[in-house]
């Protein structure tokens, strides 16, 4: 894609394990269904009809919640959570790359490594997503879904318009993320490089010794098989 990048020697690295890829595509499918049915349930358009939209939305929402619990288990037992620790180091370099360097064909300042899959910008975005936005969406959705039990649960003080409003705002935030995310996966060394990695696990990246000690996820007992 860029002149500089093709000058470098490319290496194939195994970035995403089978479970990670499965989880990524499952979650993306669930989220797309939830967006389509959720906006319809809110009344923005008519596609499947309110009944079908609401029923599918509820079912898929609960499915997502259960599947997310497995992801949380995975992220902590494998130690992959460390990939999400936010940092400001090289943040400005990454920002500068996306607003300037990318047009000049400069190499990415923080290339992907198995031990450092996310650049500082990604770390921040994915942490916000996984630790805040998605849980807020799940919690507001669960509350919305269980509206009829609020009284029994001592949650009678909750306001349905507020819960629904938070849930709607979250939906828009996720849709905005999705648009930027889908665009960003075209910014690898080729248009399809990032997508290919998320399908088969392997990605071609430039071989450089730019990964610094702090970026590397410390190896622990919980991450066997990484050598």
Q: What per-residue string of b and e applies to 42-65 under the rule 16 or more CB within 10 Å gives b?
A: eeeeeeeeeeebbebbeebbeebe
Question: Are 210 and 110 spatial neighbours (Cβ–Cβ below 8 Å)?
Answer: yes
Is 41 a binding residue for another protein by CB under 8 A? The answer is yes
Site string for another protein, 108-147 (x = CB under 8 A): ---------------------------------------x
Q: What is the DSSP letter of 133?
A: I
**From the list 27, 42, 122, 210, which residue makes contact with another protein (rule: CB under 8 A)?**
42
Q: Report d(CA 69, CA 133) in Å as an integer.
A: 15
Residue with tokens 């993306």: 28
Please state the closest distance from residue 184 (CB atom) to another protein, in A: 8
Considering only residues 49 to 88 of the shown chain, the ones binding another protein according to CB under 8 A are 49-51, 54-55
Is 104 a binding residue for another protein by CB under 8 A? The answer is yes
User: ∠ at Cα 129 (216, 56), nearest 5°?
Assistant: 135
Binding footprint of another protein on the chain (CB under 8 A): 1-3, 41-44, 46, 49-51, 54-55, 98, 102-105, 147-148, 160-161, 164-165, 168-169, 171-173, 175-177, 179-180, 183, 186-187
């Amino acid at each position: 894609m860029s002149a500089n990048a093709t000058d470098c020697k490319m290496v194939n690295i195994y970035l995403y394990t089978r479970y990670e890829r499965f989880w990524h595509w499952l979650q993306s499918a669930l989220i797309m269904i939830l967006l389509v049915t959720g906006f319809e349930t809110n009344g923005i358009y008519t596609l499947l009809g309110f009944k079908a939209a609401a029923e599918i939305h509820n079912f898929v929402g609960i499915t997502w919640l259960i599947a997310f619990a497995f992801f949380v288990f995975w992220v902590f037992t494998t130690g992959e959570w460390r990939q999400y620790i936010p940092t400001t180091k090289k943040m400005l370099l990454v920002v500068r790359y996306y607003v300037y360097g990318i047009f000049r064909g400069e190499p990415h300042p923080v290339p992907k490594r198995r031990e450092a899959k996310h650049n500082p910008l990604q770390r921040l975005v994915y942490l916000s997503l996984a630790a805040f936005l998605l849980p807020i969406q799940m919690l507001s959705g669960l509350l919305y879904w269980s509206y009829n039990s609020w009284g029994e649960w001592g949650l009678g003080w909750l306001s349905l318009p507020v819960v629904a409003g938070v849930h709607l705002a979250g939906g828009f935030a996720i849709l905005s993320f999705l648009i930027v995310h889908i665009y960003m996966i075209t910014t690898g060394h080729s248009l399809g490089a990032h997508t290919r990695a998320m399908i088969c696990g392997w990605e071609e990246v430039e071989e450089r010794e730019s990964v610094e000690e702090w970026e590397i996820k410390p190896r622990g007992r919980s991450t066997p098989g990484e050598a």
